[in-house]
Structure 1
């Protein structure tokens, strides 16, 4: 599945600019990515929806990928730009492997590269319309960070993009601790994804959870969460509302 970014028509009156391809606005987008550190490594969750505007057009879009030996990348935003970022990273990992010096890029180096990439494209007024989550582990040191489409970045023990930054982070701040087991970490991520499913119109009930440890990385098969839609607030969401909303 290849999502092409929007481009100028061939007969444009803009002259040489007609040949440049830019994502003028996001076309097919993915919603939140949520990730956290747990006792043995990093856990990351994302659903598989791809929205064409407000329409959930695609329901089988994978938005988490392994980067090299030590890193895991998740992305919200424009899917075609995410594919472009993956091509950049493929070149980076290939170039690193060509040195054949027994060393390999860790998650901190990949995160720094993504930060410079996003900021560079922003300065060219041709941004990659994504919010990225980069996690990994190397030499026993866990790493988790995020970077926005304009290069704003930080590290933390748990991160989220999109609506998850507003709805999932409060849950993580309250319930996360550094000695989370794998099972507890998965349950916490599932709780966050369930809240997002209830509140985010772009979220779908088909998700994957990825795990990366010193032993390697695995991404689960897609599965659905058990949900309950009989809450009174869901049955009559506008009851008692004041104003035009």
Structure 2
């Protein structure tokens, strides 16, 4: 027995690249399986690391409807790679969806909602996805994915007409939700929401034309200040009559750059 002992032989544990580790002894070799498979680990890594993202989405209510706006850019990191991606999705003639954040997760949400709408049509029971119903359903979806540790890294804005009244709500990636008359996601929360809220709170109910002009100001400010913003954007106006989409483009004025100091 004494002859088998070798004081120079290493006796520490060795760890390989596959998350299994072997405990080496002179008489047995134990292998402990990893807590998750390689496929599961890859899925988790892709989920928590957004690759193609969209910037801010702005929305607010006005007298008789709701207006939303978002640019059509999909940013691959700092690269303005995809320049014609719609981030406002029409669910039906009264309900629309605004999406910001990871665009692959946004596509998943749109497909899931379209599947639910198709099921309602097939059942022929007269039910229709209202803004409040979609708001509650999105909350449950986002919260469920969060509890599975596989969140959808997307901010959802639900807008439309509920009982002939404007409806606007937001659901974040953790499933937290709230309803408000003004919602801006992304960096637009810091760059535009303050002064727009002041305008909306101090003025009386604005009409459709004024709302569209104010939204153009919001998008122009975001284009000036947000490095992930894009000049071309999409505007959606929801009223009791219809859902109207418009494609516009910011016309910037850089003459003010000469008056700026300490910006290098």
Partner of 1:18 in structure 2? 38
Counterpart in the other structure of 1:55:
79
Q: Deviations over 1:178-224 (max 9, x none)?
A: 62111110111111111111111000111110011122212113x21
How far off its partner does 1:97 sit? 2.3
Residues 97-148 of structure 1, C-alpha deviation per residue, up to 9 Å, x if partnerless? 2332223121011011111111111111111111111100033121101111
Aligned length, in residue pairs: 227
| Contact kept? 2:132, 2:162, Cα under 8 Å | no
The structure that has the greater radius of gyration is 2
Relative to structure 1, the CA distance from residue 180 to residue 94 in structure 2 (aligned partners, 3 Å threshold; closer, same or farther) is same
Deviation at 1:49, TM superposition (A): 0.9
**Native 8 Å contact 2:48 2:153 kept in 1:** no
Runs of 4+ in 1 over 6 A off after TM superposition: none
> Is 1:37 the counterpart of 2:61 in the alignment?
yes
The corresponding residue for 1:217 is 243
Instruction: Give SS of 1:220's match.
Output: strand
Is 1:238 the counterpart of 2:263? The answer is: yes
- In structure 2, distance between residues paired with 1:68 and 1:157: 21
User: Using a 3 Å threshold, how does the CA distance of structure 1 residues 178 and 210 change in structure 2: closer, same or farther?
Assistant: farther
Alignment of 1:64 onto 2:88: yes
CA shift for structure 1 position 154 = 0.6
Alpha-carbon offset, residue 226 of structure 1: 2.0
1:97 and 2:117 equivalent? no
**Taking structure 1 as the reference length, what is the TM-score of the superposition?**
0.86
Q: Deviations over 1:138-173 (max 9, x none)?
A: 331211011111112110011010011111211221
SS in 1 for 2:168: strand
Q: In the alignment, what sits opposite 2:216? A: 190
- Pair 1:180-2:206 in alignment: yes
Q: 1:181 to 1:237 in 2, by over 3 A?
A: farther
Question: Which consecutive unaligned segments of at least 5 residues does structure 2 have?
Answer: 1-16, 20-33
Aligned equivalents of 2:189, 2:131: Cα separation in 1: 21
Corresponding residue for residue 161 of structure 1: 185
Structure 1: which 5+ residue stretches go unaligned?
A: 1-11, 240-245
Whole-angstrom distance in 2 between the partners of 1:13 and 1:68: 48
Identify the range of structure 1 (119-128 vs 91-100) with the bigger mean alpha-carbon deviation: 91-100
